Amino acid sequence: MRQAGPLQAIEVYNNPDGKWVILFHGYGADASDLASFSEALQLPAVNWLFPNGHHSVPIGPGWTGRAWWNIKMTELPGDWTDQRPPEMDKAVEKVFKMISSMKFEWKNLIIGGFSQGAMLATEIFLKAPETPAGLICMSGTLLSKTTWSELIKARKGSAVLMSHGEADPVLPHKGSVQLQKFFEENGISTQFVSFRGGHEIPMQVLQKMKSYILERI
């Protein structure tokens, strides 16, 4: 793991002319959690970056994970639509500094994430100064709707990949359904993989992710 601007990250560099896929892990995981995707998807024309959350959080006796902002797992809201985590702005700032330090061009970036990382990725996608090449939103949700409603106007015509387990006990499936509707109503087309499962990323999502990335490179 190396320092990527203000964040540590796992980098998989394959092609000097290739696009970059940046994936943000979920709460309590770390950069290594999604890093296996770079091998599983077998995309030699693509470069990968897996940033490490800047918060250290306890996940069990003697075990810690990483996060983008602190949350209480026992107090998660059923509906995130009007929620905006107080520390989200700080996380966004760190990611923007990382992208700037690595001299990425936004048009060559596919942003994505899982769970809390999907929330962060969506915010980054909407706030970027130029439209990124894509957004992969796995087990995400609609939140901060007032802010996002202003930002989304600049993303009309984009295409987003989404996925969510229908029996997700952590983030309700309906949150992604609301997010899909929000995207579609604002001129963003969506591919939504809804699967029988929980808070996870099954093989069918990886297969769809591969085709989505190939469409953008």
pLDDT at 5 over 70: no
Q: Rounded to the nearest 10 degrees, how much is the dihedral formed by the CA atoms of 47, 48, 51, 52?
A: -130
Q: Which domain holds residue 109?
A: 2-215
Tens of pLDDT, residues 152-180: 999 999 999 999 999 999 999 999 999 99
Cα distances from 50 to residues 128, 155, 183, 191, 193, in angstroms, run 18, 24, 25, 23, 22
Mean pLDDT for all residues in the chain: 92
Q: 43-47, 62-66, 182-186 — which is least confidently predicted? A: 62-66
CA 61 to CA 176: how far, in whole Å?
A: 32
Residue (of 186, 69, 211) closest to 136 by Cα position: 211
Q: What are the structure tokens assigned to 68, written together?
A: 């983008």
pLDDT at 82 over 90: no
pLDDT at 147 over 90: yes
Tens of pLDDT, residues 6-24: 678 899 999 998 999 999 9
- Tell me how many domains the chain contains: 1
Domain with residue 100: its CATH number is: 3.40.50.1820
On whether the CB atoms of residues 81 and 142 are closer than 8 A, the answer is: yes
pTM surpassing 0.85? yes
